[in-house]
Structure 1
Amino acid sequence: MSGHGRARRWAVVVALLAVLAALPAVVGALPADDADLSAPDLRDAVLASAGVGFSGYAVSAGGLSLPVSDQLPAVADLLSDRATMRVWWRGPDEHRVDVVSAAGETGVHVDPAGTWSWEYESATARRSDPAALALPAPPDLVPAALGRRLLSEATDDELTRIGARRVTGRDALGLRLVPAAPAASVARVDVWADAATGLPLAVEVVADGAAVPALGTRFLDLDLGAPPAAVVAFTPPAGARVLPGEDTGGLLREAADRELSPVRLPAELAGLPRREVAGAPATVGLYGSGVTLLAVAPLPGRLAAGLRSTLAAAPDAVRDGSSTRIAAGPLGLVLVEPPRSGAYLLVGTVTLDALAHAAGALTGAPS
């Protein structure tokens, strides 16, 4: 009898776990109350939610499969894997995000003076100053931050309402952004915002021609209200190894300082106007607006050589004269190596045709 009793108890445990695992889907299927709010008004409510404090759990899933893991391993992991995030958010310049992913566990603590990154496995703390040139980091994938970023430059005619649904037990109003730029490789961005506060609760980015999101992030649990400052703040513990943060703009500045390429960046590329980036070298260009952006940067020879071989090994790489280009979901990359000059990397949410046109404009080759 005891064996049968144990079996029944385990059966009960398994059944309970199955019910708990299904709860988010069940709650999400419950009907949500929509609101009579226009798309532009909902966008404005989302952008006004920057001061809303909260804490909770979120999960992000990326399918970009960037073939640049040797050069940018943290970015490749962040945009191609599933990550669970524990978030404490007091504001855009004061928050903490602990991330558990295939790469390990890392805590990111942001304060007005910079960022602490704490790697649990190696007991290593890194301190970084604010920078004009920065690679994507875990806080950028928090639904609230990503939703505001993607909607920050959306025009009224790019927006439509898409009803409402339940996210983490709250009524979430749907807003769809369809980029107007012909060069856009993003088909749509769907943002689901809390009806009461405008806080984005879930975000999905779908590439042109794709059926599933290339990038998605959503809250699993959310408590509104600013967390205590002591929870967000960070001081390296005794015995920790303390290092300077990785300088994400260092290679770009090195390329600019050494004038590795005489290519003069035009005022427009692929039909996208150049925009000003405070603090960026003159040889680094950013084009476009909203979710349709193209960045151009010179590369030192050692980085260009490694990137060339990595891109060329990708199964869908396209080699065209002095350039090699690939696409990873809505993200396109092209390495341009004009004759008798240094290399340039073009990366952005634009189509491969737009990348080819931009590469041709830089090298003077027909596109």
Structure 2
Amino acid sequence: MARVRRWLVVVLAAVLLVSLPVAVRHRPGGGPPTRPTAELLARVQGSGDVGWSGRATSRGSLALPSSDSFATLGQLLGEQVDLRAWWRSPRSWRVDRIRSTGETDTFRDGGGQVRWIFESERATFSPVSRIRLPDAVDVLPATLGRDLFQGARLDELTALAGRRVAGVDAVGLTLHPSGTETTVDHVDLWFEPATGLPLRVDLYAKGADLPVLTTAFTDLTLDAPDPDAVRFSAPAGVTLAYEESTDVAAAANALEQLDLPVSVAGLATRDGRDPGAVGVYGRGPTTMIVFPLRGSVARPLREQLDRNAGTTQTAAGTLAPIGPITVLLTRLPGRGGGFLLAGTVTPETLTAAAADLQEQP
């Protein structure tokens, strides 16, 4: 489930290098390059149950299309993101996004989550969906690094010199995705060697000299936090509301009467399961999301994409590159909506995927 629900962090993230104070904390260190082994890779991939607490920082610069349905996503990836988090397991955590005007706190407890905007008098409970848009938890280096290395093969890894990250002598590995359909050149990952916990992630697009995505811890405690630290307790005067779906992707997956194929454009689903109305395909940093948009969402999004200087109208639909990301919005005849296909894949891959979708009954 964790592999699937973070698709758009990879798909729509474009982040600059972290600020200078963070870079100082990340001074070189951590020893010489470590030879990649299956044991090290498995340690990274299985680090979700490692307990920890700390702070992390990333900074986004991607100008996403303006749409009410993706407003939070645009803020998350277009601004500096300062996070404070407590992590017990993938089903038990708390992540606070700290802003100059306040903070937004998200609590995960089993199959449900609560979002509380600190300066408001309202908190919202919703069930956790297998498919959803990314949130602050998904740009944490621990979760993002783990997701990028899921599905990685040992022959795609090379040694990387260690470095000092948040007071830890971190071990480094570089992932070079082997697929020709990807727009990602490589991913540099530094992690705590005993637990495999990712501490810093740099993602490079093809042809780029600097990473297009960086997220890193600035402070870290490698101990499981107390259960009370991740449990929401409504303050006096705060009401708890209920929402059936966390966002437009979760709603589409729950309500649309569609059945996407298990493979498109040669890419299988990330979790190996047969998708419903929403499909997430690929592995590691090569990711593609496919889901239907209703006309009320598709029309304004298409208008925003048309304003992108690189947008072209093709037989498959509206095709727009956004940095290393490629977006294709097709049309559904007679419905006013369309399929949104987006990912760290080439335009040819999205076009082939759209053709595969047309062949579905």
Where on the TM-score scale, by shorter chain, does this alignment land: which range? 0.7 to 0.9
Q: 1:144 Cα deviation (Å)?
A: 1.0
Classify the secondary structure of the residue corresponding to 1:187: strand
Q: Which runs of 5+ in 1 are unaligned?
A: 1-20
Query: Is 183-192 or 290-299 further displaced after alignment?
Result: 290-299
Q: 1:265 Cα deviation (Å)?
A: 4.8
Task: Please tell me the residue identity of whatever aligns with 1:204.
Answer: D
Alpha-carbon distance between aligned partners in 1 of 2:41 and 2:261, rounded to the nearest angstrom: 32
Q: 1:160 Cα deviation (Å)?
A: 1.1
Check conservation: 1:322, 1:338, Cα contact below 8 A: no
The structure-2 alpha-carbon separation of the partners of 1:35 and 1:314, relative to structure 1 and needing over 3 Å to count, comes to closer
The structure-2 alpha-carbon separation of the partners of 1:319 and 1:143, relative to structure 1 and needing over 3 Å to count, comes to same
Q: 1:343 aligns with which of 330, 338, 341?
A: 338
Residue of structure 1 equivalent to 2:190:
192
Q: 1:180-329 alignment to 2 at 5 Å?
A: 180-245=178-243, 246-248=245-247, 249-254=250-255, 256-257=256-257, 265=260, 268-274=263-269, 280-281=275-276, 283-329=277-323
Q: 1:336 Cα deviation (Å)?
A: 0.4
Query: Is 334-343 or 324-333 further displaced after alignment?
Result: 334-343
Task: Please tell me the residue identity of whatever aligns with 1:358.
Answer: A
The structure-2 alpha-carbon separation of the partners of 1:29 and 1:291, relative to structure 1 and needing over 3 Å to count, comes to closer
Identity %: 37
C-alpha distance after superposition, 1:12-55 (max 9, x if no partner)? xxxxxxxxx97654453353323754243322221232222111
1:76 aligns with 2:74: yes
Alpha-carbon distance between aligned partners in 2 of 1:214 and 1:22, rounded to the nearest angstrom: 17
Q: 1:334 Cα deviation (Å)?
A: 0.9
Q: 2:172 aligns with which of 171, 174, 179?
A: 174
Residue of structure 2 equivalent to 1:331:
325
Q: Which runs of 5+ in 2 are unaligned?
A: 1-18
TM-score with structure 2 length normalisation? 0.84
The structure-2 alpha-carbon separation of the partners of 1:64 and 1:121, relative to structure 1 and needing over 3 Å to count, comes to same
The structure-2 alpha-carbon separation of the partners of 1:274 and 1:106, relative to structure 1 and needing over 3 Å to count, comes to closer
Larger radius of gyration: 1
Q: 1:359 aligns with which of 332, 336, 354?
A: 354
Q: 1:59 Cα deviation (Å)?
A: 0.5
Higher relative contact order, structure no. (Cα contacts within 8 Å, ≥ 6 residues apart): 2
Residue of structure 1 equivalent to 2:14:
none
Task: Please tell me the residue identity of whatever aligns with 2:87.
Answer: W
Check conservation: 2:261, 2:274, Cα contact below 8 A: no
Task: Please tell me the residue identity of whatever aligns with 1:169.
Answer: G
Check conservation: 1:297, 1:344, Cα contact below 8 A: yes
Residue of structure 2 equivalent to 1:13:
none
The structure-2 alpha-carbon separation of the partners of 1:23 and 1:360, relative to structure 1 and needing over 3 Å to count, comes to closer
Alpha-carbon distance between aligned partners in 2 of 1:352 and 1:104, rounded to the nearest angstrom: 40
Task: Please tell me the residue identity of whatever aligns with 1:208.
Answer: K
Give the CA RMSD over aligned residues: 2.6
Residue of structure 1 equivalent to 2:106:
108
Q: 1:325 Cα deviation (Å)?
A: 1.7
Q: 1:94-133 alignment to 2 at 5 Å?
A: 94-101=92-99, 105-133=103-131
C-alpha distance after superposition, 1:221-275 (max 9, x if no partner)? 1111111111111022221132224432113443x23x6xxxx855543332356
Check conservation: 2:59, 2:78, Cα contact below 8 A: yes
Residue of structure 2 equivalent to 1:139:
137
Check conservation: 2:109, 2:231, Cα contact below 8 A: yes
Q: 1:84 Cα deviation (Å)?
A: 0.5
Check conservation: 2:125, 2:242, Cα contact below 8 A: yes
